[in-house]
Amino acid sequence: MPIGITALGTYVPTRVLTNKELEGMFDTSDEWIVSRTGIRERHLAAEDEFASDMGVRAVNDLSARYPGVLEGVDMVVCATSSPDALFPSTAAIIAGQVGLNGAGALDVLVACSGFMYALSVAQGMVLAKTATKVLVLGAEALSKILDWTDRTTCILFGDGAGAAIVEEVPEGYGFQSFVLGADSTGGPSLYKFAVADHIPGVPVGTGAMLGMNGREVFKFAVRVLGDSGEKAMNKAGLSGSDIDWMVPHQANVRIIESACGRFGVPLEKTVINLDRYGNTSTASVPLALREALDDGRVKDGDQLLLVAFGGGLSWGASAMKWYGGAGRKVAVQEQELVVK
Ligand SMILES: CC(C)(COP(=O)(O)OP(=O)(O)OC[C@H]1O[C@@H](n2cnc3c(N)ncnc32)[C@H](O)[C@@H]1OP(=O)(O)O)[C@@H](O)C(=O)NCCC(=O)NCCS
């Protein structure tokens, strides 16, 4: 029984923070940020807008694109690096606000790899018949956990959310492989305290806000993006030439460029939108994929490779055949409406 994504919605807050504006906040330049990262601007949540709010708005977009899509959802899985609270889960808060009270709800906390892990959790639940239709979210209010005086980290991130439906798909579509992993030796390279006010290996007095060793994360990211992507392809019996579109975590264009060489997927077949959103952690893969669907790059039956990495340090990759059937149905309905 193949399982896959059948619907995808997204949301980004309206407020845009440009590199030029950052120049007025601390010693940096548009030229430095673009040349080191590829990022030009990012969207920031309003003061009273949190991960759950953005998740709800991504679900609203999902419902607008695929009317009636929430019917039958019996599980909500939310990946987030910036949850509203330790508990209740952000998933439970979102479920309650989109009319899914009573469905199971859990958060997945694997930093920027979280969306890939959440897709795999959803697939497993459907295969085990624990659930039949899972709403999977990546929702982030990262701007709330950034140190806005740390020019090396705060320039990188942005806010946003994605919402996907994972359920049975027709034969020949859906997830073909997952590769998930973590290496705690890199834990001190990317961190944020929760209950304990220390993390082994992290300098005392840091960690209240997101902390990072950029160079270490860069080296790790280039390695695992290539390695996990290659493993996901091998597991599915594929090679780089089979991939129609790679959708990587949108952290840094230089990381993506370096990794592309490692698994033989050319840059022209890679979806990149980090210039306008920065690194939105768990929301980055759905935001990039939705954009590629909207502009017609990704089509029904395309061979995709999704790859992410993040705190943990962690990684997650999946090969999948895109199922565009649900979207087609909506398009046909719209055409019929126009005809009438
Ligand atoms: C953060 C990152 C862009 C920094 O780029 P880098 O080339 O490694 O830069 P460095 O940290 O070595 O700093 C180089 C210089 O630029 C300076 N610098 C740092 N941030 C700056 C900024 N925003 N503007 C201007 N100069 C800056 C540093 O102070 C340093 O100056 P110095 O040489 O006088 O000490 C890069 O390491 C990176 O992208 N790493 C991966 C981070 C990531 O993706 N994290 C999320 C993973 S999910």
Report whether 312 contacts 113 (CB < 8 A).
Answer: yes
Query: Which of 144, 115, 168, 110 minimizes the C-alpha distance to 312?
Result: 110
- Dihedral angle, C-alpha 17, 21, 25, 30, nearest 10 °: 100
Query: Which of 285, 275, 324 minimizes the C-alpha distance to 305?
Result: 285
Closest C-alpha to ligand 1, atom 20? 152
What would the CATH number be for the domain defined by 174-326?
A: 3.40.47.10
Beta bridge partners of 139: 161
DSSP classification of residue 184: G
Residues labelled as active-site residues: 112, 249, 279
What tokens appear for 287 in the block? Answer: 């935001």
Distance 284 CA to ligand 1 centre (A): 21
What would the CATH number be for the domain defined by 3-168?
A: 3.40.47.10
Comma-separated ranges of CATH 3.40.47.10 domains in the chain: 3-168, 174-326
- Which pLDDT tens digit goes with each residue over 308-339? 999 999 999 999 999 998 765 555 555 555 43
Give the whole-angstrom CA distance, residue 42 versus residue 283.
Answer: 13
- Give the pLDDT confidence score for residue 169 in this predicted structure: 98
* Distances from the Cα of 130 to the Cα of 1, 123, 137, 299, angstroms: 14, 10, 18, 30
pTM above 0.75, yes or no: yes
Is residue 22 over pLDDT 70? yes
- Give the pLDDT confidence score for residue 339 in this predicted structure: 39
Residues with CB under 6 A from ligand 1: 28, 32-33, 36-37, 112, 151-152, 155-156, 212, 214-215, 217-218, 221, 251-252, 279, 310
* CA 142-146-151 angle, 5° bins: 125
Question: Three-class SS of residue 151?
Answer: helix
- Which pLDDT tens digit goes with each residue over 33-85? 999 999 999 999 999 999 999 999 999 999 999 999 999 999 999 999 999 99
- Which pLDDT tens digit goes with each residue over 260-305? 878 789 999 999 999 999 999 999 999 999 999 999 999 999 999 9
Sign for the pseudo-dihedral over CA of 272, 277, 283, 287: negative
Report whether 7 contacts 165 (CB < 8 A).
Answer: yes
CB atoms within 10 A of CB 36: 16
